[in-house]
């Protein structure tokens, strides 16, 4: 088994929440092992094994490791070359009455795998709370800009208008699916329980003199003491590594969502329509003092790529587990699982920071619309002429010629789009010149975008955030902001 020092993920936790960083710390891991040994002892005592009250009490009083116990464990591991047994011995030094019964009947995966399942469940809960806050923040942004027209893009080419708020709802909808997927993964998690070295529970059957009912009861008791509703009905030495696939899949999907959001904002920043927060003393470039690089969204995209790739690692690990288990999953998972959760946590934290300080530039957005809208409005102009008795084919040809002339000014000479002025100067269009302003009103080109924002927030976002878990997370974040 690897040294306990390998539990310390190489990924920097500088931007991770304290809760998530602590969840994957050595201190949390080894305390959890001790809690699992305590639960096993309590259940075994309840079912009739000769375990003293003193042993239980000493275990309860020494769940946290001191620096001295970490040192003892390190020395024991160097001697024994086995991390679990090193910690069995270390726990026994502070709970001597329990030294003979700690880990009784169990295999190493009793503590390592069950602890991992606990960490996965808690980590998913942290991410669910962070997601709820992010969705709440972006929803407020969408509501604020529900009807602000903006040029839409398909193929990153100018397309029909949308609104700033409507575009944000596309981001939010993806995040709602991530919230659903992560909640499903968490709520579906079971416990490995007490299954023995190859999953047959043979050691526990021997402890209880062949009493199958007591062995089944032991599995149930330890599972409930550890806070799980059920244990997986069958395991090998480990819980199936497909569980890791099921957990990391939604995190990888979240990475794809975050990358898309980060990329959209980076592109909008290039167009100077929307920017991420930029501090008054922040430096965008060491050489180009004017620059406002979207470094937060760049970080989101960078880490999201890493997050998406970790799912592939889980797939490969599950595929090479020979028979009842091989140890080549161990070192891999000790890096992959913490990194996946720490990365997802940092991505959500950074996106939340971005969402809370997005800067919108309506005048720039309006100017870009003005550059493209005249071309988009040509069909409206033609229809207006027809209503005034004009011939559609003639109107179409006159507009086509004027549009080509205006396009030449824009593309070949770098000038403004003057199509509307050309229409104003053409006597053919005299019947509708008084209507041109209304025909070019951007609000008439956004369809039902504002109403879609309202309906989406009411019928989809509000119910998704109405649960106690989400409401508590949002309220807690607001309290923190007020205190700050």
Residues catalogued as catalytic: 155, 285
- Which of 147, 146, 139 is closest to 176 using CA atoms? 139
Please classify residue 307 by burial: count the beta carbons closer than 10 Å to its beta carbon, then call 0-12 exposed, 13-18 middle and 19+ buried: buried
E strand or H helix at 159: strand 157-163
* Gap between the Cα atoms of 123 and 419, Å rounded: 57
Coil, strand or helix: which one is 212?
helix
CA dihedral for 413, 373, 259, 311, sign (positive or negative)? negative
Q: Please answer whether residues 236 and 124 qualify as being in contact, where contact means their C-beta atoms are separated by less than 8 angstroms.
A: no
Residues 6+ apart with CB under 8 A from 425: none
Element holding 58 (H helix, E strand): helix 53-61
DSSP labels, 351-376: HHHHHTT-EE-HHHHHHHHHHHHHHH
DSSP state of 98: G
Distances from the Cα of 160 to the Cα of 72, 141, 274, 402, 433, angstroms: 68, 22, 19, 21, 23
Burial class, 370, CB count within 10 angstroms (exposed 0-12 / middle 13-18 / buried 19+):
middle
């Amino acid at each position: 088994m690897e040294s306990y020092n390998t539990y310390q993920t190489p990924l920097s936790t500088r931007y991770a929440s304290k809760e998530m960083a602590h969840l994957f710390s050595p201190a949390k891991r080894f305390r959890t092992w001790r809690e699992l040994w305590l639960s096993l002892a309590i259940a075994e005592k309840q079912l009739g094994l000769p375990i003293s009250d003193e042993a239980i009490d000493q275990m309860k009083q020494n769940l946290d490791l001191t620096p001295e116990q970490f040192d003892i464990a390190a020395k024991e591991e160097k001697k024994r070359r086995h991390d679990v047994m090193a910690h069995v011995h270390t726990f026994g030094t502070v709970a001597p009455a329990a030294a003979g019964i700690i880990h009784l009947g169990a295999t190493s995966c009793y503590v390592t795998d069950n602890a991992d399942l606990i960490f996965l469940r808690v980590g998913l809960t942290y991410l669910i709370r962070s997601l709820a806050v992010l969705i709440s923040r972006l929803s407020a942004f969408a509501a604020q800009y529900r009807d602000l027209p903006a040029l839409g893009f398909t193929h990153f080419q100018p397309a029909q208008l949308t609104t700033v708020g409507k575009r944000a709802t596309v981001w939010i909808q993806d995040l709602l699916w991530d919230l659903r997927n992560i909640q499903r993964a968490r709520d579906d998690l079971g416990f490995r329980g007490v299954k023995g070295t190859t999953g047959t529970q043979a050691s526990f059957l021997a402890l209880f003199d062949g009493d199958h009912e007591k062995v089944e009861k032991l599995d149930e008791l330890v599972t409930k003491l550890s806070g799980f509703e059920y244990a997986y009905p069958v395991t090998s030495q480990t819980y199936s590594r497909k569980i890791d696939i099921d957990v990391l899949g939604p995190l990888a999907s979240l990475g794809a969502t975050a990358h898309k959001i980060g990329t959209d904002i980076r592109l909008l920043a290039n167009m100077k329509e929307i920017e991420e927060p930029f501090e008054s003393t922040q430096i965008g470039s060491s050489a180009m003092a004017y620059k406002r690089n979207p470094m937060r969204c760049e970080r989101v995209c960078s880490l999201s790529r890493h997050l998406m790739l970790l799912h592939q690692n889980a797939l490969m690990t599950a595929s090479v587990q020979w028979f009842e288990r091989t140890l080549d999953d161990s070192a891999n998972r000790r890096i992959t699982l913490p990194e996946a959760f720490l990365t997802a946590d940092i991505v959500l934290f950074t996106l939340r920071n971005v969402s809370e300080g997005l800067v919108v530039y309506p005048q720039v957005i309006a100017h870009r619309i003005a550059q493209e809208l005249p071309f988009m409005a040509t069909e409206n102009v033609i229809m207006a002429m027809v209503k005034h008795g004009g011939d559609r084919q003639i109107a179409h040809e006159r507009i086509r010629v004027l549009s080509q002339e205006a396009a030449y000014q824009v593309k070949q000479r770098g000038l403004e789009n003057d199509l509307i002025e050309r229409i104003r100067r053409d006597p053919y269009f005299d019947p509708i010149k008084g209507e041109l302003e209304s025909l070019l009103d951007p609000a008439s080109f956004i369809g039902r975008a504002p109403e879609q924002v309202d309906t989406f927030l009411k019928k989809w976002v509000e119910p998704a955030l109405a649960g106690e878990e989400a409401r508590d997370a949002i309220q807690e974040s607001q309290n923190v902001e007020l205190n700050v």
